[in-house]
Homo-oligomer: A and B are copies of this chain.
Amino acid sequence: MLKNILDNRDEYQPGLSIDCVIFGFHENQLKVLLVKTKHPDKWALPGGFVPINEDIDQAAVSVLHARTGLKGIFLRQFYTFGAVKRNENHFSNRVLNFGGILSEEGKWYFSRFVTVGYYALVDLMQTIPQPEGKNEIVEWIDHNVVPDLILDHKEILDKALETLRMELNLMPVGYNLLPEKFTIPELQKLYETILGRKLDRRNFLRKITAIGILTKLDEKKSNVAHKAPNLYSFDRDKYNEVVRNGLHQGW
């Protein structure tokens, strides 16, 4: 795969890459999609290069598909990482493989790559990864126990999580991640998992209700021991309206 790209490097934007941070939510866990390659034997965000004839936003979707088999994921661009030294270690660790002398391919590959970061939050069960390369492993890993990542991928991951948390203050989250009918405690748990902290039950109820995106159903959750909690669903029209206009009509 890499050899193929190096041989056809004129067909790729020089010095530019894409990295995708895909958060998956399932059963109250926030996970991150990571890829492990043999060389180097380390975990990384799914990423790749940008064909010269492809918009970067489209390239991000293609890269994600090629590395993980995932399709139809709406990716949001969140930041571009361009420190001079961002792939320097990668360089010094691997230049030996090239016998110390850099070919034209080597120069291309080891130059500073500026990488555009994209992220998404998806329902993990709807998006089963299937690695294309047989030397690759693709796995959902709990964001609390992410192993060492190559390059500055940990920094990219942290920035994506920070962006996702900020987004909770700008728009509602939950559609596609929860079952069609859910309880307020289930919704609260989603927010707590993303934010990484406990929330006050009453405050959460008051704030989430004030947004006006919930429809209280005439049903209660069954199979629960004590007082059965009410079921809710999202009012899709209002939900979409708030996504468009932002949570805080603000000023």
Residues of A participating in the B interface, judged by any CB pair closer than 8 Å: 13-16, 50, 52-57, 59, 77, 79-80, 82-84, 111-112, 114, 116, 166, 168-170, 191, 195, 199, 204, 207, 246-248, 250-251
Are B80 and A13 in contact (CB-based, < 8 A)?
Answer: no
**Chain multiplicity (copies):** 2
Tell me the nearest residue of chain B to A250, going by C-beta: B169
- Contact assessment for B112 and A13 in the assembled complex, using a CB-CB cutoff below 8 Å: yes
Can you pick out 16 interface pairs between chain A and chain B where the beta carbons lie within 8 Å of each other?
A13-B15, A13-B112, A13-B114, A15-B15, A16-B16, A50-B82, A50-B114, A54-B84, A55-B83, A56-B114, A57-B82, A77-B79, A166-B246, A169-B251, A170-B170, A199-B251
A248–B250 alpha-carbon span in the complex (Å): 10
* Closest B residue, CB atoms, query A83: B55
Contact B57 A168 (CB under 8 A): no
Whose C-beta in chain B lies nearest to the C-beta of A192? B251
**Inside 8 A of A199's CB, which chain B residues have their CB?**
251
